[in-house]
Amino acid sequence: MSTNVEQIKERLDIVDVISSYLKVEKAGINFKAKCPFHNEKTPSFFISPTRQTFYCFGCGEKGDIFSFVEKFESLDFKGALQVLANKAGVELKNFRMEEKPEKKDKLFEIMERATKFYEEELKKNKKVLEYLRKRGLSQTSILRWQLGFAPDGWRNIHDYLIEKGFSKEDLLLAGLIKKVPNQIKYYDTFRNRVMFPISDSTGRVIAFSGRALKEDDKTPKYLNSPETKLFYKSETLYGFNIAKNHIRKQDYAVLVEGQMDLLMSHQAGVLNTVASSGTALTELHLKKIQKLSNRVIIAYDSDPAGEKASNRAAELALSLGMEAKIASLPEGEDPASVAKENPEKWKNALKKSEHFTDFVLNKAAREKEGRNLTREILKSVLPLANLIESDVEKSQFIKKIALKMRVGEEAVWNDLKKINTKTKDFENTKIFNDYKDEKEALIFEAERYGLKIDIKKTNEDISRRIELRELKQKLQEITILLDDKSVSKEDEKKLKSDLRKIQQRIKNINY
């Protein structure tokens, strides 16, 4: 009797599997595509129907359908097996891993039990259900997205899961409970919150985001699970498991900020929407989208904070060679409120989205004139040309700027050259501006307590914080890569070496 793996391989052809993710073309007896595992302009990723394998001559990635899905979807073997079993129509009821079950399996089971617990609690709470309906959610959406409710109380999920046979250690690892410092006491992470399960690309719940029902200065509006063996904030997008196929088919993604924005967008029929879930957007988030499509429409809130975040997201997307557009919403509105009022209005806002460079240029032209417009363009608009990968698109952008400023294109190119010589200073200034409030707070504290202010030392302190932030981000990225079972032994050795160096540098900075 054949195994599940053999059954799947018998039913699925590697070309069909990979072509459901990538655009492939015939190359003799083989097929080729642009490699999804590194950036390239010329296809060097080859698929062999005869051997049922793939190999990239650019980065060296190779394997079969299982290793491809593992790598592409950022899954463990069991997750990839489930994806391919669904495609092949193979049931995995009697599937057993040969090796000892991983800790992850238990964590997945805990998250599944917790999701069902929260769902049942929501069904019993008419007040919370009414709140969700007032926000515009249909019963179908509530059920489809497995929304739940964490009741008020310190040990509800704790007692429920302990009774089911799970240990306190398991619940801590899953991020569902916390330990009281210096005491042998535990309490629930989520209390009196609407619960939004966050899933991996196969639909397995890996974390939660809880929306507070009681709003005050002491209670954060949204609370996400801490990072766990299952959940990495810097690469997880809410709704990706449902949106991924629609992003691939429509060849663009809609990026929103919050859970309600995503739910209302999907309810309006825009199924290629994903959300950053209130966390800072990272390169890993965008690279996850980029595997499916190189185009993204950013639709954040229309307030100043939302505009700042959308500009940063668009700049990051452009730096990765993506086509980034901005959807303009009415003042004071967000995707959820627009979609609730009128789904067609939301869809039209997306249809009218502008390329980020055009959006910034047109905004400057609306708000400034004369010399003020020139200064704004040189300060905020022209530097964006450096992020445009295509020479043709960059030339078109320069031409548009020249027309707005009513000057010759050569003058704009000359100014761009001047900006390029100051790129390093420009980037440093931008980073320090991000820490401006923190710097001012340090100076304020010094003045408050009558301490002497040393601007040089303050700047050094800010520099250390910036370096720490970047090192911790790199540390997180390496941890994610090491968790990937498809990484080669040579790459694993290098990653571990880099990991040790970063850890030592962080230790030195903190010391």
Query: In the prediction, which pLDDT does 93 show?
Result: 64
Provide the phi-psi class of 192: left if phi over 0, else alpha when psi is between -120 and 50, else beta: left
Q: What is the pLDDT of residues 328-383, one digit of tens each?
A: 999 889 999 999 999 999 999 999 999 999 999 999 999 888 889 889 998 889 98
The pLDDT confidence band at residue 224, using thresholds 50, 70 and 90, is: very high
Q: 333: which residues sit within 8 A by CB, 6+ positions away?
A: 301, 302
Q: Is the pLDDT of residue 445 over 50?
A: no
Q: Is the pLDDT of residue 419 over 90?
A: no
The pLDDT confidence band at residue 99, using thresholds 50, 70 and 90, is: very low
The pLDDT confidence band at residue 95, using thresholds 50, 70 and 90, is: low
Q: What is the pLDDT of residues 451-460, one digit of tens each?
A: 444 556 666 7
Q: What is the pLDDT of residues 140-182, one digit of tens each?
A: 999 999 999 999 999 999 999 999 999 999 999 999 999 888 7
Q: Is the pLDDT of residue 131 over 60?
A: yes
Query: In the prediction, which pLDDT does 195 show?
Result: 97
Q: 288: which residues sit within 8 A by CB, 6+ positions away?
A: 74, 235, 237, 240
- Please state the rounded mean pLDDT for residues 473-480: 74
Lowest mean pLDDT among 3-12, 86-95, 204-213: 86-95
Find where tokens 């039990």 sit.
Answer: 113
Q: Is the pLDDT of residue 5 over 90?
A: no
- Please state the rounded mean pLDDT for residues 230-251: 91
Token couple for 482: 């090491």
**Which is more confidently placed, 82 or 326?**
326
**Which is more confidently placed, 152 or 7?**
152
What is residue 319's DSSP assignment? H
Query: In the prediction, which pLDDT does 389 show?
Result: 80
Q: Is the pLDDT of residue 97 over 90?
A: no
Note the maximum CA span of the chain. Answer: 81
DSSP string, 451-485: PPP-HHHHHHHHHHHHHHHHHHHHHHHHHHHHT-T
Task: Give, rounded to a whole angstrom, the gap between the first and last alpha carbons of the chain.
Answer: 61
Burial environment of residue 23 by CB neighbours within 10 A (0 to 12, 13 to 18, 19 or more): exposed
Say what the pTM is.
0.71
Percent of the chain predicted with pLDDT > 90: 46
The pLDDT confidence band at residue 446, using thresholds 50, 70 and 90, is: very low
Query: In the prediction, which pLDDT does 426 show?
Result: 45
At 128 the three-state DSSP class reads helix
Question: What does the mean pLDDT of the chain come to?
Answer: 85
The pLDDT confidence band at residue 425, using thresholds 50, 70 and 90, is: low
